[in-house]
Chain A
Amino acid sequence: MKGYIGIDVGSVSINIIFIDDGGVVAEAIYLRTQGQPIAMVQKGLKKLSGRLPAGSKVRGVGTTGSGRNLAGIIVGADAVKNEITAHAIATSQVVPGVQTILEIGGQDSKIIILRHGVVTDFAMNTVCAAGTGSFLDQQAARLNISIEQFGGIALQSESSVRIAGRCAVFAESDMIHKQQMGCGLPEILAGLCEALVRNYLNNVGKGKDILAPVVFQGGVAANVGMIRAFEQALELPIKVPPYYNVMGAVGAALLAREAAAKRGYSLFKGFGISNMKYKTGSFECAGCSNLCEVVQVTEDGKVIARWGDRCGKWSNAVIEEKIS
């Protein structure tokens, strides 16, 4: 099989997917980041190479997510792109004509508005984590139910309890009070979904023109309670694409396809990188009063990248070495 790898290195999870030439997802691997992005990318690639049929060829690799630069250096990426562009590319391919993308992940949530296949507006949560996956995770754990059950239980409710949604702290205390008053679990969970949707629409979706088709993706799109809450709030049908939880990675792979075609070859270093030794470290540069925290990545003892310096003294040194 010939195709492209897409890697989305997020705060909570790492998704690695393989798409064939036609853009169809052939393999999808989900790993928890566990604070070790490099080791997990290596592990994921090893897993992927084991799953692909013999003789498969990688024609390009793309990375996205908050760890995209790091992962890009490790694998030799053809495209390194932010999550917003990656999500928009992937969703336009899967749901042609999409006008609104609602994306809720572990730590961040975003809304992307497209018209005629072009992103015209977007927003990401800036200062508040209420309304993201980790908050739901936390509340599910507190109520002693698994996150997978969350949505199903919420759907059993016939009515919902009103829960304050502006702030995760308010939501939690409100929820506890309602629970102590004797409200049922399904009603509380349904209320929580509604609160989160309200918060999302008021915060991230503020001032945005939400038109159908609306696509809901990211890890939280697995929660049927959230899907129902969005449908009720927007009075629009909500589409959840297959592979809703790896759309960023799909976008990265699609961008890699474009970049590799333009370049004529791929920069992918091969699956052998799973066995290389990578080390990252940081040091404080004492060159001026900025005291930048410079991060350095080494591959088998050789420095392959540096960043974090405002003046470019350290990062440019690596680039110059490569050129000479």
Chain B
Amino acid sequence: MRVTFPHMGNLFITVKGMLQYLGVDVVVPPPSSKRTLTIGAKYGPEFACLPLKLNLGNFIEASEKGADTIVMAGGCGPCRFGYYAQIEHAILKDLGYDMKLIVLEPPQKHLSKLLAKIKELSGNSSWWHIFQSIRFGYQKAQAVDEVEMAAFRSRPRELTPGSTEKAYTKSLEMLDRADSQIALAAAKRNADELMSAVAVDNKKTVVKVGLIGEIYTLLDPFSNQYLERTLGRLGAEVDRSIYLSEWVNDHIFMGMVKGVRTRKEACEAAHPYLRHFVGGHGQESVGSAVNFARAGYDGIIQVFPFTCMPEIVAESILPEMKADYGTPVMTMIMDEHTGEAGTLTRLEAFVDLLTRKKEVKEALCK
């Protein structure tokens, strides 16, 4: 059994780490590229959202590298994603790819089924070993998130253009290579050192932008046209409403880890505007926008794939929140376009708006 899984930003570091710890033979698909997208768009249904097409491209490219089993998350929300694993599997079958599918359904609805699937995947390892590997994966996710956060801070302030990117790439490589608890602890220390060694101008005033939206396009730089990096280069410090480790805590550990942001907090903050689960992260997006506005962020950018229902609901509610807090919100819809000029224009204009607004505000306060 050679196992593969879809790409979603740096998710591969966590999943690969966890599966290898379990002793599973892993095939990481090549990073999403134009080829991945071309393959996915060719075989995927036209009306499906971007994540399905990229997943499909990832699986086909992984199969070329020898993968024969797919691990994919399931779901049971109003969001179509819950059905994607089966759809993708059916498409692959029609195309003649004979791959086995293991769907991991959310634990709150299908706990026994999930446990059975994990047991199957692990080749009957002991539960203690399985627990250890999940913990190892979670620790990797945390370490990756810390590196990402450090990059968010130093990108707009770096003195040498590109120095953050270099440190960031190298740090992630180190974390990816770590294959034991001890190696991971060392890699974490080295990554931390590397990230803090980036020379920055601490006095520089930067605008702060909160990113909210659909999880895939939010976490996957290829699908969001490198939003975080571009914003950093334009002089904006960013933060995200979702980090992988937080998601794991919310959805796999059922919020057992304390002292981190949770989905519950975001949903509570959404309460004056949206009291209902609307699928995906729609409710969390509204709540996170409120939290960013309350925390004094200069602006908020919502990102989602074209036709994403939960986020369309959130988008139509955000103007109300904006009217209450006065924080500018911009929505970016991602699809197959790879030309970056349009994205850059919007981001540049948005950062201009925030900078100017901040200047006026500070001048008034003086």
A and B, one complex? yes
Q: Is B348 an interface residue (CB 8 A)?
A: yes
Contact A120 B333 (CB under 8 A): no
Q: Report chain A residues within 8 Å CB of B95.
A: none
Q: Is B346 an interface residue (CB 8 A)?
A: yes
A-contacting residues, B206-240, CB 8 Å: 226, 229
Give Cα A123–Cα B169 distance, bound, in whole angstroms: 33
Give Cα A14–Cα B99 distance, bound, in whole angstroms: 53
Q: Assuming the A-B contacts A84-B352, A120-B328, are A291 and B345 also in contact, with contact meaning beta carbons closer than 8 angstroms in the complex? A: no
Q: Is A276 an interface residue (CB 8 A)?
A: no
Q: Which of B161, B316, B342, B356 contacts A312 (CB 8 A)?
A: B161
Contact with B along A92-118 (1 / 0, CB 8 A): 000000000000000010000000001
Find the A residue at minimum CB distance from B306.
A127
Contact A85 B349 (CB under 8 A): yes
Contact B357 A118 (CB under 8 A): yes
Q: Report chain B residues within 8 Å CB of A82.
A: 344-346, 348-349, 352
Contact B357 A316 (CB under 8 A): no
Give Cα A319–Cα B353 distance, bound, in whole angstroms: 28
Give Cα A310–Cα B32 distance, bound, in whole angstroms: 14
Q: Is B341 an interface residue (CB 8 A)?
A: yes
Q: Report chain B residues within 8 Å CB of A120.
A: 328, 353, 357
Find the B residue at minimum CB distance from A208.
B319
Question: Interface range on chain B: under 10, 10 to 19, 20 to 34, or 35 or more?
Answer: 20 to 34
Give Cα A290–Cα B31 distance, bound, in whole angstroms: 8
Q: Which of B31, B161, B328, B332 contacts A289 (CB 8 A)?
A: B31
A263: min CB distance to chain B, Å: 19
Q: Assuming the A-B contacts A83-B345, A290-B31, A291-B34, are A118 and B360 also in contact, with contact meaning beta carbons closer than 8 angstroms in the complex? A: yes
Q: Which of A84, A122, A126, A312 contacts B162 (CB 8 A)?
A: A312
Contact B346 A124 (CB under 8 A): yes
Give Cα A82–Cα B352 distance, bound, in whole angstroms: 9
Contact A66 B341 (CB under 8 A): yes
Contact A310 B328 (CB under 8 A): no
Q: Assuming the A-B contacts A66-B341, A127-B335, A289-B33, are A118 and B356 also in contact, with contact meaning beta carbons closer than 8 angstroms in the complex? A: yes
Give Cα A121–Cα B346 distance, bound, in whole angstroms: 11
Give Cα A66–Cα B340 distance, bound, in whole angstroms: 10
Give Cα A290–Cα B169 distance, bound, in whole angstroms: 13
B-contacting residues, A120-174, CB 8 Å: 120-124, 126-127
Give Cα A291–Cα B165 distance, bound, in whole angstroms: 17
Q: Report chain A residues within 8 Å CB of B165.
A: 311-312
Q: Is A119 an interface residue (CB 8 A)?
A: yes
Q: Report chain B residues within 8 Å CB of A126.
A: 331-333
Contact A122 B357 (CB under 8 A): no
Q: Is B30 an interface residue (CB 8 A)?
A: yes
Give Cα A84–Cα B347 distance, bound, in whole angstroms: 10
Contact with A along B306-345 (1 / 0, CB 8 A): 1000000000101100000000101111010000011011
Q: Report chain B residues within 8 Å CB of A118.
A: 356-357, 360
Give Cα A188–Cα B333 distance, bound, in whole angstroms: 32
B-contacting residues, A179-214, CB 8 Å: 206-207
Give Cα A155–Cα B316 distance, bound, in whole angstroms: 35
Contact B226 A310 (CB under 8 A): yes
Q: Report chain B residues within 8 Å CB of A291.
A: 33-35
Give Cα A241–Cα B106 distance, bound, in whole angstroms: 58
Find the B residue at minimum CB distance from A121.
B328
Q: Which of A124, A127, A290 contacts B33 (CB 8 A)?
A: A290
Contact B33 A122 (CB under 8 A): no
Give Cα A63–Cα B223 distance, bound, in whole angstroms: 29
Give Cα A138–Cα B328 distance, bound, in whole angstroms: 36
Contact A66 B162 (CB under 8 A): no
A86: min CB distance to chain B, Å: 9
Contact A85 B162 (CB under 8 A): no
Find the B residue at minimum CB distance from A289.
B31
Give Cα A1–Cα B357 distance, bound, in whole angstroms: 35
Q: Report chain A residues within 8 Å CB of B333.
A: 126-127
Q: Report chain B residues within 8 Å CB of A206.
A: 316
A-contacting residues, B78-98, CB 8 Å: none
Contact B226 A122 (CB under 8 A): no
Give Cα A123–Cα B335 distance, bound, in whole angstroms: 18
Contact B341 A316 (CB under 8 A): no
Q: Which of A108, A119, A319 contacts B352 (CB 8 A)?
A: A119
A121: min CB distance to chain B, Å: 6
Give Cα A119–Cα B348 distance, bound, in whole angstroms: 13
Contact A122 B349 (CB under 8 A): yes
Give Cα A318–Cα B346 distance, bound, in whole angstroms: 26
Q: Report chain A residues within 8 Å CB of B30.
A: 289
Contact with A along B4-40 (1 / 0, CB 8 A): 0000000000000000000000000011011100000
A204: min CB distance to chain B, Å: 11
Contact A85 B31 (CB under 8 A): no
Q: Assuming the A-B contacts A121-B328, A207-B316, A289-B31, are A319 and B161 also in contact, with contact meaning beta carbons closer than 8 angstroms in the complex? A: yes
Give Cα A312–Cα B33 distance, bound, in whole angstroms: 18
B297: min CB distance to chain A, Å: 16
Q: Report chain B residues within 8 Å CB of A311.
A: 162, 165, 169
Q: Report chain A residues within 8 Å CB of B161.
A: 312, 316, 319
Contact A207 B319 (CB under 8 A): yes
Contact with B along A277-301 (1 / 0, CB 8 A): 0000000000001110000000000
Give Cα A120–Cα B345 distance, bound, in whole angstroms: 16
Give Cα A122–Cα B316 distance, bound, in whole angstroms: 16
A-B CB contact pairs (8 Å), 6 listed: A108-B342, A119-B356, A126-B331, A127-B335, A311-B165, A312-B161
Q: Which 4 A-B pairs have the closest CB atoms?
A: A84-B349, A207-B319, A312-B162, A82-B348
List 8 additional contacts besides A66-B341, A124-B346; criterion CB under 8 Å.
A82-B345, A119-B356, A122-B330, A123-B330, A127-B333, A310-B229, A311-B165, A311-B169
